[in-house]
Structure 1
Amino acid sequence: MRLPPTRLVRRYDTHRLIPTRFRPGNESVLARIADDEQHLDALFDLDHATNERLHAENDANPGIAARELVYGVPNYRVINAAFCHPNPLGARFSGPQRGAWYAAFELATAQAEVVFHKTVQLAEIDRYEDSVSYDEYQADLSANLHDLRADDDRYAAYLAPDSYRESQALAEALLEAHSLGVVYPSVRRAGGSCVACFQPSLVGNVRRARRLELRWEGSPRAHVLRHERDA
């Protein structure tokens, strides 16, 4: 496989949206179902036994080594979680064993990506009724990334709107070649740009910015409510 060329990508204030329920420090749902403190301790033991981020931090995750994770920087758990909790089916440039830090250059692009995937989930149950709160995390990035933003069709297979087969194969080859990540045009928003960073240490200055609410009220069209300050 011929790999795409690399280019220095230096971008401040990239945007990633994560469901607020995963915010570090939020009360665990386990606390709501425990009968007493002893029961809660047992539930936390069970939770820890199945927590892939904790497995990785103890070098027990086959997808990523503990030495690759970051520690002692703001929101390091948020960074590590992106790599340790991959989608079971994988994503565009990551497989089911190792995740990546996906982010967009524009907030509107990050919204479009999230809205698309959530709408697909609602379509599967044929019920467009939901409200989900997301935290926007901004991060800075400076790295030589493989660039798929060519103006021709040479990378069309990796940007297919309905299949990740070729893009995941590319990602596997890139990881074997010690790639730091890819920069690519958004498939869900024309003119938008996205990055998939393959190494936690490259995700810099992560900070929480806005909170957004996405609402579906009977149709596939989502309404976006943006809170400039966290509630």
Structure 2
Amino acid sequence: MLSSLPVLPPVGAIQAHRLVNSKFPPIDLFNDVADSAEFEALFKIQALTNPRLLNEVGRLELIPLAEIPFGIAGCSYAAAPFTHVNPAGSRFSNGSYGVLYLADTVDTAIAEVRHHQERYWSNVDGLNYDRFVFRGLLCSFTDDRNVDATGLALSDPIYAPDDYSASHVLGSAVRDNGVPGLRYNSVRSPGNQCWALMTPRNVTSIIQAAHYEMIWSNSIIGVNRILNA
């Protein structure tokens, strides 16, 4: 399937959106250095005195340090999905590697996150009311050499609402062939688009934009913007 997808031409910087749970703070160590050599030196020093460091930075063996764009604004936001991998997987990952998911608009990002939050919290017994806060991020990156799956209809197996078997095959092929990422149609916000970046190396900045709260009462009954950057 990968060979049948067009490769996107260089189009310069693209801005896209992402939501992350506010309970996960930025990882200072990624933001405090300019390159991988500085990171390795500082990591070794801090590891001697900071027993929580390994939990903070995650599984560094899952991504070569050369892939991390040290020195950019928001480097920790770019690196975190690749060192803190969801073992349950996602649309384009079987859980053995990380993916940086981005959306064309903040409303698309909200729709995607809202769906997955509702699936998760609906399985928690006794949760009658709660409030979940997310940090909105604005990401700049280059789309050069990514492949484009937006020409495939939403009826294609890679867009199955809850069966990720076909999309896992495509995601693995994208990653194994060294393709930086994939542009695809949003399943939760039809008519909009998302990106699945297999490496953070093409990210040029990620900055905080706003905070959003999702209100849970047997389902997510509202989403509010609560703080400007």
TM-score (normalised: structure 1): 0.80
1:207 is aligned to 207
How many Å apart are 1:116 and its aligned residue?
Answer: 0.5
Q: 2:220 and 2:89 mapped to 1: Cα distance? A: 25
Which stretch of structure 1 is more off in the superposition, 203-212 or 122-131? 122-131
Q: Which runs of 5+ in 1 are unaligned?
A: 27-40
2:79 aligned residue: 80
What secondary structure is seen at the aligned counterpart in 2 of 1:209?
A: strand
Q: How far apart are 1:165 and its partner, in Å?
A: 1.3
| d(CA) in 2 for partners of 1:114, 1:5 | 28
- Compute the TM-score of the two structures, normalised by the length of structure 2: 0.81
Whole-Å separation in 2 of the counterparts to 1:131 and 1:9: 41
Question: Once the two structures are aligned, what percentage of the paired residues are identical?
Answer: 26
Q: How many residues align?
A: 207
Contact 1:9 1:141 in 2 (8 A): no
**Residue 158 (structure 1) aligns with:** 158
**Root mean square deviation of aligned Cα:** 2.5
- Give me the whole-angstrom Cα distance separating, in 2, the residues matched to 1:128 and 1:180: 41
- What per-residue deviation string (whole Å, max 9, x for no partner) do you get for residues 44-92 of structure 1? 51x33445x3541xxxx1x311221221221111111011111111111
Q: In 2, Cα distance between the equivalents of 1:49 and 1:23?
A: 15
The separation in 2 between residues aligned to 1:139 and 1:183, in whole angstroms, is: 15
Find the aligned partners of 1:172 and 1:152 in 2 and give their Cα distance.
Answer: 20
- C-alpha contact 2:27 2:76 (8 A) present in aligned 1: no
The DSSP-based 3-state class of the residue aligned with 2:123 is helix
What is residue 146 of structure 1 aligned with on the other side? 147
Match of 1:95 in 2: 94
Q: Aligned equivalents of 2:176 and 2:117: distance in 1?
A: 31
Please name the residue that 1:24 is paired with.
26
Q: Distance in 2 between matches of 1:137 and 1:74?
A: 12
Note the residue ranges of structure 2 that are not aligned, 5 or more in a row: 29-46
Q: Distance in 2 between matches of 1:197 and 1:118?
A: 21
Change (3 A) 1:54 1:188: closer
